[in-house]
Structure 1
Amino acid sequence: MKHVFKLASLFFLVISCNNSDIDSPDMETTRTPDDVRQDFENFDFQPGINDITLESTTKGYFWNFRVIVPDGASQSNKKPLFFNLHGGAQNNIPDAHKSTDCLISPGLDGIIDAFIISPNSNAQLWYEPNNQIQVLALYDLATSYLPIDTDKIAVTGYSDGGNGSWFYAQYYPNMFSAAIPMATSYNTAKSNGSIAPITIPLYVIHGENDTLFPVETTQGYIDESIAAGSNINFVIASGLDHYHPCDYVSYLRDAAQWLKTTVWN
């Protein structure tokens, strides 16, 4: 089931702790949103890679994420922002958010000079409540404290991250101007079976030989969404499978060019 929270209130929610994490009923388990904001504001972000650990609004619950800062970004020279959602979201991989050299960085290099925020899923799917809280909180923090052009924010991801990209495009279109899902199998039908158009454009990339998510299944979901009124470019990556994401760089570069010249022009 997909659980959707409202942006206005989500950052102020307290992430639930397991009872085993609480030593006593009197133990302080929450921090205020201002505590989180202050910690984020105090980070010394430098051009290039910044690997960050930020304590959330629950004591002892941390968000681990990478922020790549483009050269020359300033309040007088604001830059676009990409949210990069990694694959294998249910696997407990402490450094999964650091895999930016494989796909997202070379995919944008020389085409779009942008901030990249790459969060760690904490072994949960991207549409799970904790990850919605994380993504929306990082969105709030980044757009509040970094020189970001809020008219140019996109979400992308591979495999589980691609499904996450679909999800945020569908349920949080006011946050993003476009989505670039890759190697996905995301059914846009709601729980009642209805399909509503997604209101931001998507550029969907899928491997021809993907055996985990057969291309025919993804094509069917896309056809249904287009029939409902969605604006989707669907590109099949010739000869590519699911298990070599770094091979998709040239296709992501085409998507970045589409974003730059068609969506953000």
Structure 2
Amino acid sequence: MISSRSPFIVRLNVFVFLLSLVFCISSMDAQNSNRRNAAGGQQAQAPNTRLPGGAPDFFQNKSYQGSNGETIRYSLLEPLEVKAGEKFPLVLCLHGSQGATKAPDYLSTPEMRKKHPAFIMAPAAPRNKFWSTGGVPDNVNPEELRKRGMDKLESVEVELMEALEDVVANYPVDPDRIYITGQSKGGHGTWGTILKNPHRFAAAAPICGPVGTVDMKPLAHLPIWIFHGNADARVDVEVSRRVFKDLLEAGGQPGYTEFPGVGHSSWIPAYETPYLWDWMFEQSRTKQDK
């Protein structure tokens, strides 16, 4: 039986792929070409410019100065209609090392905004800083840091979480329905952020994100859906297989989807998975085992 907490469980010794997810890969082009603007009936065009966090240009461009003196820029999209007294979920979308993220594109389509009204927050992190110091990949050493243009391990985790809490305090956000997702570097950021803040989020969807060998027991209560392509040459799929296994052994109920023949850009079929968003927006901290 598929529970609302865990979309499905994949045992490591049996390769099971949902046909609907495989179909997402083959039908992506058709879905994109047929996506229509709900207001004008015209095909939605990709924006020419991008805001902080890789968000489309119709998001609000904002910034926040943290208690550490560091400023983080972010893009924010509000629900189409906000009624007095109504609270909405928020999705925190973390970009990859090149500054790109696809989650805001999918979440901001007219169809999605009507089906799942929510605040969409897309922060920006410099290339020489991690999103979080939690769950740092096992291969990150002084030499690797130098390759990344870093003298030491630095992150934006302080200003990121303070900016998030500032949005929650100043907008009608449901504090029990805050979700996080990210691709590549943002996938690690997702892991690191939930490891450092295990009870802040209602659900997480890390995609092809590197994460170190750490204790996963603090995340056993959290609904997590992991995505990876088995042909990924940038981040070894064994990382996601290992952390999935670790979560199961810790008593968690994670979901795991592995796309056959897909390389590093597994966020494309992942974010095109319709049930991902239905599953995510069903989650609430009030349903979690404390």
Equivalences for residues 59-208 of structure 1 within 5 A: 61-88=70-97, 96=99, 102-105=105-108, 108-123=112-127, 124-128=129-133, 130-189=155-214, 194-198=215-219, 199-208=221-230
Greater length-normalized contact order (CA 8 Å, ≥ 6 residues apart) = 2
Calculate the TM-score normalised by the size of structure 1: 0.68
Matched-pair contact (CA < 8 Å) for 2:184–2:208: yes
Unaligned runs of 5+ in 2: 1-57, 134-153
With over 3 angstroms needed to count, the CA separation of the structure-2 counterparts of 1:72 and 1:134, relative to structure 1, is: same
Identity of aligned residues (%): 20
CA distance in 1 between counterparts of 2:193 and 2:130 reads 12
Give the match's secondary structure for 1:142: helix
Give the match's secondary structure for 2:217: coil
Match of 1:235 in 2: 257
Matched-pair contact (CA < 8 Å) for 2:80–2:113: no
Unaligned runs of 5+ in 1: 1-47
Deviation, 1:101, is 5.0
Q: Does 1:52 align with 2:62?
A: yes
Deviations 1:158-178 (A, max 9, x none): 011111111222221221111
Calculate the TM-score normalised by the size of structure 2: 0.62
Match of 1:31 in 2: none
Match of 1:258 in 2: 279
Q: Does 1:215 align with 2:237?
A: yes
Q: Number of residues paired by the alignment?
A: 206
Give the match's secondary structure for 1:135: helix
With over 3 angstroms needed to count, the CA separation of the structure-2 counterparts of 1:156 and 1:260, relative to structure 1, is: same
Give the match's secondary structure for 1:152: strand
With over 3 angstroms needed to count, the CA separation of the structure-2 counterparts of 1:75 and 1:151, relative to structure 1, is: farther
Paired amino acid for 1:242: H
CA distance in 1 between counterparts of 2:204 and 2:120 reads 14
CA distance in 1 between counterparts of 2:238 and 2:101 reads 31
CA distance in 2 between counterparts of 1:238 and 1:254 reads 19
- Please tell me the root mean square deviation across aligned C-alpha atoms, in Å: 2.7
CA distance in 2 between counterparts of 1:255 and 1:100 reads 11
Matched-pair contact (CA < 8 Å) for 2:61–2:74: yes
Paired amino acid for 1:144: A
Matched-pair contact (CA < 8 Å) for 2:180–2:205: yes
Give the match's secondary structure for 1:67: strand
Deviation, 1:205, is 1.1
With over 3 angstroms needed to count, the CA separation of the structure-2 counterparts of 1:218 and 1:71, relative to structure 1, is: same
Q: Does 1:249 align with 2:271?
A: yes
CA distance in 2 between counterparts of 1:232 and 1:100 reads 20
Deviations 1:180-199 (A, max 9, x none): 1111221351xxxx542413
Deviations 1:37-82 (A, max 9, x none): xxxxxxxxxxx610113444566x4321100111112442211001
CA distance in 1 between counterparts of 2:230 and 2:101 reads 27
